[in-house]
Chains A and B, each alone.
Chain A
Amino acid sequence: MKKEKNNIGLKLVGNIGFSLIALVFLFPIIGLLISSFRPSADLMRDGITFAIDFSTLNLDNYMYIFQQAPSYWSWYGNSLIVSGLTIALSLFFSSMVGYALALYDFKGRNLFFVLVLLILMIPFEILMLPLYKVMVATQLVDTYFAVVLPLIVAPIAVFFFRQYALGLPKELMDAARIDGSTEYGIFFKIMFPLMGPSLAAMAILQGLTSWNNFLWPLLVLRSNDMFTLPIGLATLLTPYGNNYDVLIAGSVLTIIPIVLLFIFFQRYFVAGLTSGGVKG
């Protein structure tokens, strides 16, 4: 009986505590959302503030974006295409590599793993200029392919899949071999589905990385109608601040698809985790 009471107290503390934490994390987003309805002159003067004059809120920033900013929508389409390609390709290739590194014994395995870490450690910024030269030489500048290319085999995803696959039951592989399954069948039919939770986590991460990628697209994209959202929005960030209104409303609209992606994958995520079969 005493324990029951104790639990109720702890539950109260736990839920109130997390409500406050959630509020702190959401506050900047709420601030952005409200600010997107404020006149840009006020925003320039006050920044994001607690002292909002609610009577001045209006839809002007959004009206402008929907009616007079066609290029904003082509940036939007480009970002969707680039992110979709990145998620599909990088999940496929990276999970394959991580799986092999974790569950096969082969010569050079540790070497490959060290290479994965090496790529993680090398600042992309020093590879960027020589890579850019390659893109120019092969005339790939200003294409989706050039933007997606460096993200296809993502070392961070390989690392994560390897760590995750280490926990997969190796006995399943032997059992499948006895049943006559090929090595590829084992991966695609048995192990790949078992990696579901890690795939969902990496889909979110790769989608984010690609959707928010800045420096590399800035180099390889040249024409306005090929820009992705971050690059396009950055062109609005002039020193004079005269585009703050569009920038802030555009930022709100930028966050929406990625929120949808997260909500969509979260279901798979939870389902994958609760369906068991992960690590016994």
Chain B
Amino acid sequence: MPSPVQETNSNVNLQKKPNKFFKFLNSKNVVPYIFVFPFLISFLVLTLYPAIHGIIMSFQSILPGQVNFIAFQNYERVFNPTFYKALLNTSTYVILTVLILTIVPMLLAILLDSKFVKFKTLFRASIFIPALTSTIVGGMIFRLMFSETDSSVANQIVNLLGFESVDWRYHGWSAMLLMVILASWRWIGVNVLYFLAQLQSISDELYEAADIDGASAFQKMRYITIPQLKPIIVFVSTITIINGFRMFEESFVFWETSSPGNIGLTVVGYIYQQGIGQNDMGFGSAIGVVLMLIIFVISIIYLIATGTFKRGEE
């Protein structure tokens, strides 16, 4: 990376113009590095250093006042039934949330943007408002709505439909349902905003041209709207995959650190349980490294498959 900077420097010297230093700072070869500089610093201090430190910790047994190098012993312990349970829960959650949080907001945004809906601002605001709550507050509300008593909203609805009341926080399927509903409720509105912002930037001329060619509403959606939305579809789904694997609070708010039969345990929850709860930071770090590799591989595959590394359309 230093090479282009040096080249520019010598170019400037050769030209021997006034304000050399400013000229140097304003050169097209230097400017992008200055813009990116704060990011570089924050990457080194806030990500690279702690990541390396975390990886080193994953090869250590860390007891108070006593740190020993134990090679791969932590990793040998990682692949146990509890970890697989956590990974299964997390993967299920990722798949469900990616589907829901990409498709539903896109459809809602397209419908909101159509001429058939009048109170756009009001509807958009209503759908977005859940995102204003924290996971802690939102989770508390859903705990109260899905509480085990017959009088809670969820059980009143279930009873009305002729089913028995459900102990929502104590079954595998309903535990997953709680977490997915909480996340969907909070995030659909945010993703609708992303899709709307992109929809507004699609040129009317494209649609006018399509009208002249006699395209149907479906064809316009298929050949104009969805291709134009692709950058945001990739953005939203990538973020959802990554956040899904990092999920912790949605589980914590329902069961704190331990759920019956680990039905709410996620990989990050397992890190927290082992690293902080059991104070086994070496083992916690090893789980973290494994998780990091899983996220890394899946995201890269996904981004390559969707062509994100290619230069923008222009």
Contacts and interface: CB of A to CB of B under 8 A. Distances in A.
Interface of A: 7, 10-11, 13-15, 17-19, 21-23, 25-26, 28-29, 31-32, 35, 43, 45-51, 93, 96-97, 99-102, 104, 106-110, 112, 115-131, 133-134, 149-150, 152-153, 156, 158-160, 163-164, 166-167, 170, 182-184, 187, 197-198, 201, 204-205, 208, 211-212, 214-215, 230, 233-234, 237, 247-248, 251, 254-255, 258-259, 262-263, 266, 270, 273-274, 278-280
B141 interface: yes
A146 B40 CA distance: 19
The winner among B136, B138, B288 for most chain A CB atoms within 10 A is B136
Given A126-B289, A126-B291, A127-B51, A101 B36 contact: yes
Interface residues of B, number: 103
B185 A25 contact: yes
B152 A166 contact: no
Q: Is the interface of B mostly helix, strand, loop or mixed?
A: helix
Nearest to B130: A25
Contacts of B210: none
Contact of A112 (B36, B231, B284): B36
A131 B4 CA distance: 33
Interface in B13-37: 26, 28-29, 31-33, 35-36
B42 A106 contact: no
A100 B149 contact: no
Contacts of B114: 14
Interface in B190-207: 190, 193-194, 197, 200-201, 203
Majority DSSP secondary structure for residues of A touching B: helix
B80 interface: no
B144 A123 contact: no
Contact of A97 (B38, B144, B201): B38
Given A119-B43, A123-B288, A278 B31 contact: no
Given A93-B39, A230-B134, A262-B128, 10 more contacts: A15-B118, A45-B149, A48-B145, A48-B153, A49-B153, A127-B47, A130-B54, A247-B140, A254-B137, A273-B201
Interface of B: 1, 3-4, 26, 28-29, 31-33, 35-36, 38-40, 42-43, 45-47, 49-51, 53-54, 57, 108, 111-112, 114-119, 121-123, 125-138, 140-147, 149, 151-153, 156, 185, 188-190, 193-194, 197, 200-201, 203, 231-232, 235, 238-239, 242, 245-246, 248-249, 268, 271-272, 275, 281, 284-285, 288-289, 291-292, 295-296, 299, 303, 309, 312-314
Contacts of B312: 102, 166-167
Nearest to A212: B134
B38 A93 contact: yes
A122 to B, nearest CB: 6
A125 B287 CA distance: 11
Contact of A123 (B137, B142, B292): B292
A214 B313 CA distance: 39
B151 A201 contact: no
A15 B117 contact: yes
